[in-house]
Amino acid sequence: MAVELLIAHDDGDSVRQIMRFEIGTDNDFTVNMPKVKRIRLPCGSYALEVEIVLLEHYYLIKMNGTEMGQKLWPKEWWNKFQWHGVNSVKVQGQLTLVEKPSVKQIGQKSDSSNDRPIILAWNKFFRESIFEFDKLLFGNKNCSFQCVYTEDKKFQSCASVVIFHLALNLAPLPQHRNAEQLYVLVSHENPLLGRSVPTNFFNISITYRTDSTIFMPYDALSLINAQTMPQQIWSEAEIRERVARKKRLVVQFVSNCGANSGRDRLTAELQKLIEFDVFGSCNNKLCDDKCYQSEQESHFFYAAFENSVCTDYVTEKFWMALRNLIVPIVLSRKVMEKAGIPNGTFIAADDFDNVQALADHLKALQMDKDKYMGYFNWTKTYQKYRSGDGIQPPLCQLCEIAHQQRQKDKFKPYTVQLDTFWDKWQCKKNFVQEELISENMALGNHVCSICHHAIGYYNNNTLPCGHVFHPQCLAPWLPYNACPMCRTPIHYSGPWPNQPWPNSWPNVHNIVQHHLTNAHGVVQQHLASAQRLQSDAMANAQRVQTEAMAQAHAASRRISEEARASAQRVRTEARAQARAARRMSQEAQANARQQSHGAENRAQYRQSQNNWVVIDGVRHQIDGPEMNVQFEGNDLIVNGQRFANAARNYSIISEGNVNYSNIGK
């Protein structure tokens, strides 16, 4: 069994160094009695007195990486001291032990010479200490400012700075906050993957964003200078030897399925067209470290498709490919340029009109080694790995801010506005579907590189770089003499050309870049102004809504009372009108009856005026509404009027009824 031995050296003021190595269990252990020293930690205008133990040698038993049993302190010290773990309390950035109880407040002003600000980490950076992550990125560089770094929350009320890693659960948040404390947002994830916190919660940001208070990128390029060691510079022979080993086209390592960027769709489209190998849990094809290194060395291109397309979001996917001399394929050129990544170090999928064009470009580069080698021109300017470039680590910069905070005349407090700085609108969901895989692009039709709408074969302008545009979309870019998409220099003079430009202007790229930078600044200003206007508009709308509701309520009461009175008047008038209508109806009925009787009488009169008996051509008028005709012998009797010997020679004219009867002969 092996025992892991931890040795700390006391140089009088602090624990200077810690070393770890394994020894056999048969070795003799010797433990010197520890020395106790008091230091003062700042807590507002007072000091916290802390007893720490400085040891020349101490031990920690580990078996197969697991701590076993008690620490090997002398027995009389076992119950007096406890081990708080790495970064529990540090003096000058080094490991210490703390006595139980470890902190006592004393009513004595702190000594300014020993007054080091406390920086408290509220939670872990994923599974490790945020202090260790800082060392991992920037190494153990000397810092000209001294602070006390701790993860022990008992120092919360005394800490000058409290760090929160946003990608993990923050609950429970601090119950009380010192008015002079600075709260720090730390995140390497994008806003779509972070947690929600109050808008005005943080004072300082430490993120991958270039506009953070403290910029903490995943990686960066370091320029070659006179102090650069030869082993930090790629030679052309090394590069060509690496390229000669490459046989396959594209590889991708991905474990996050269904990413917000929609990268799975682009991967699926490319797999239909070219040799495209995918490893990771999403593909159920796991790959260990040895496999990972082997696959990167054997492929020409690495699909560095991010899980989200967000401002400045360039992760280890891109940097690991670049460091291993495999050309990265990214989703968005705009993101890379905004993050300061040099052109010519990557291939951007959104530079191409369709997926087929991207696939053809990759296959062409595989066949043309000289053009492929051009993607490694960055090695002539930049070192193999990041060297620091004189930039202080984030925690050192944070320590400097903590010291500045105490100088009220030099420190300007500020707040991170999460609704603008860390808002999700800065990320494009479904980027691949909306920006790359439109219907026209998937079919390989002519698509304008600016508006992404289909264009006819004869209604386009194709530049020497291959990008196609509507004439009206390209027109505003003519003064810049460069392709709007890839910035390829072109030269234009005279009327609108029918063919691509035959020559170029090599200096136009800088002009275009200048205009783009200015345009981006203007856009950012307009966005900030729009955010302020939106906030003011929402406040005004809320106030107007409240006033309108009050006015509407009062008006409703007033209108309701008026409506009731009006309704009463209407009902009264309606009843009066109904009574008048009944009277009019009765009168109308009476008039109708009278008119009916008159009409009947008039009809009878008219009928009586139109009853005639014609005998031998002579007309005789007969009174009465109808005619009763009787025969008696040869006589004709009509309504009692006798006509002698007329029974055989007569005719009747009548508008009424005519009744015939025979009396007898």
Statement to judge: residues 152 and 296 lie in one domain: no
CB atoms within 10 A of CB 473: 19
Statement to judge: residues 521 and 630 lie in one domain: no
Statement to judge: residues 585 and 628 lie in one domain: no
> What local confidence, expressed as pLDDT, does residue 102 receive?
34
Residues 126-145: tens digit of each pLDDT: 767 777 665 555 555 567 88
Grouping H, G, I as helix, E, B as strand and the rest as coil, residue 190 is coil
Statement to judge: residues 597 and 518 lie in one domain: yes
Q: Any idea how long the chain is? A: 665
> What local confidence, expressed as pLDDT, does residue 492 receive?
54
Statement to judge: residues 176 and 251 lie in one domain: no
> What local confidence, expressed as pLDDT, does residue 222 receive?
85
Range with the poorest average pLDDT among 304-318, 483-497, 532-546: 483-497
DSSP codes joined into one string, 577-641: HHHHHHHHHHHHHHHHHHHHHHHHHHHHHHHHHT-EEEETTEEEE--SSSEEEEEETTEEEETTE
| Residue ending a domain, choose from 357, 380, 403 | 380
Closest by CA to 367, choosing from 465, 247, 235, 488, is 247
What percentage of the chain has pLDDT greater than the value 90? Answer: 14
For residue 111, is pLDDT > 80?
no
CATH of the domain at 329: 3.40.50.11660
d(CA 143, CA 505): 47
> Using the 8-state DSSP alphabet, how is residue 114 labeled?
G
pLDDT: is 87 or 169 the higher one? 169
Write out the residue range of the structural domain in which residue 341 sits. Answer: 230-380
For residue 261, is pLDDT > 60?
yes
> What local confidence, expressed as pLDDT, does residue 177 receive?
82
d(CA 276, CA 267): 8
Contact indicator for 611, 654 with CB cutoff of 8 Å: yes
For residue 653, is pLDDT > 70?
yes
Statement to judge: residues 151 and 98 lie in one domain: yes
For residue 567, is pLDDT > 80?
yes
Q: How many domains does the chain have?
A: 4
270 part of a folded domain: yes
Q: To the nearest whole number, what is the mean pLDDT of the chain?
A: 73
Closest by CA to 14, choosing from 134, 133, 130, 97, is 97
The enclosing H or E element of 520 equals helix 508-609
Mean pLDDT of 544-560: 84
d(CA 500, CA 79): 84
Statement to judge: residues 519 and 658 lie in one domain: no
Statement to judge: residues 521 and 587 lie in one domain: yes
Contact indicator for 338, 319 with CB cutoff of 8 Å: no
Judging by beta carbons within 10 Å of its beta carbon (0-12, 13-18, 19+), is residue 116 exposed, middle or buried?
Answer: buried
Closest by CA to 440, choosing from 360, 358, 355, is 355
71 part of a folded domain: yes
| Residue ending a domain, choose from 358, 380, 402 | 380
Could you tell me the two tokens for 577? 């009108």
> What local confidence, expressed as pLDDT, does residue 302 receive?
96
pLDDT: is 636 or 325 the higher one? 325
Q: Are strands 81-82 and 66-67 parallel, antiparallel or unpaired?
A: unpaired
d(CA 661, CA 657): 13
Residues 359-399: tens digit of each pLDDT: 999 999 999 999 999 999 999 999 988 776 566 788 888 88
Residue 486 phi, psi (nearest 5): -110, 0
d(CA 346, CA 327): 6
> What local confidence, expressed as pLDDT, does residue 628 receive?
87
> What local confidence, expressed as pLDDT, does residue 42 receive?
52
For residue 248, is pLDDT > 50?
yes
Cα radius of gyration rounded to whole Å, the chain: 50
Max intra-chain CA distance, the chain = 177
Judge if pTM exceeds 0.95.
no
Statement to judge: residues 116 and 67 lie in one domain: yes
Contact indicator for 15, 91 with CB cutoff of 8 Å: yes
Residue 90 phi, psi (nearest 5): -130, 145
Statement to judge: residues 31 and 149 lie in one domain: yes
437 part of a folded domain: no
407 part of a folded domain: no
What is the b/e burial string over 218-253, where b = at least 16 CB atoms within 10 angstroms of the residue's CB?
A: bbbbbebeeeeeeeeebeeeeeeebeeebeebbbbb
Question: Among positive and negative, which fits the CA dihedral 357, 358, 364, 367?
Answer: negative
642 part of a folded domain: yes
Confidence of residue 5 (pLDDT cuts 50, 70, 90): very low
216 part of a folded domain: no
Q: Which long-range contacts (CB under 8 A, 24 or more apart) does 382-385 make?
A: 382/221, 382/222, 382/223, 382/224, 383/221, 383/222, 383/223, 383/224, 383/228, 383/232, 383/233, 384/231, 384/232, 384/233, 384/234, 384/323, 385/222, 385/232, 385/323
Grouping H, G, I as helix, E, B as strand and the rest as coil, residue 229 is coil
d(CA 314, CA 306): 8
Closest by CA to 346, choosing from 328, 326, 366, is 328
120 part of a folded domain: yes
Grouping H, G, I as helix, E, B as strand and the rest as coil, residue 224 is coil
Closest by CA to 195, choosing from 487, 422, 486, 416, is 422
> What local confidence, expressed as pLDDT, does residue 108 receive?
33
> What local confidence, expressed as pLDDT, does residue 622 receive?
83
> What local confidence, expressed as pLDDT, does residue 561 receive?
85
Statement to judge: residues 299 and 176 lie in one domain: no
Statement to judge: residues 548 and 646 lie in one domain: no
Grouping H, G, I as helix, E, B as strand and the rest as coil, residue 255 is coil
Range with the poorest average pLDDT among 37-41, 81-85, 112-116: 81-85
563 part of a folded domain: yes
> What local confidence, expressed as pLDDT, does residue 410 receive?
61
Judging by beta carbons within 10 Å of its beta carbon (0-12, 13-18, 19+), is residue 345 exposed, middle or buried?
Answer: buried
| Residue ending a domain, choose from 566, 593, 609 | 609
Q: Within a 13 Å sphere around the CA of 155, how many CA atoms are in the beta-carbon half?
A: 29
Contact indicator for 470, 477 with CB cutoff of 8 Å: no
For residue 345, is pLDDT > 90?
yes
Sequence-ordered list of residues with C-beta below 8 angstroms from that of 627, at least 6 positions apart, any chain = 611, 613, 638, 639, 652, 654, 656, 657, 658, 659
d(CA 639, CA 133): 136
> What local confidence, expressed as pLDDT, does residue 72 receive?
36
Q: Are strands 90-91 and 94-95 parallel, antiparallel or unpaired?
A: antiparallel
99, β-bridge pairs: 81
Sequence-ordered list of residues with C-beta below 8 angstroms from that of 200, at least 6 positions apart, any chain = 415, 417
Residues 181-240: tens digit of each pLDDT: 889 888 888 877 766 677 778 888 888 888 888 888 888 888 888 888 889 899 999 999
Q: Which residue has the tokens 């994923």?
A: 126
Confidence of residue 413 (pLDDT cuts 50, 70, 90): low
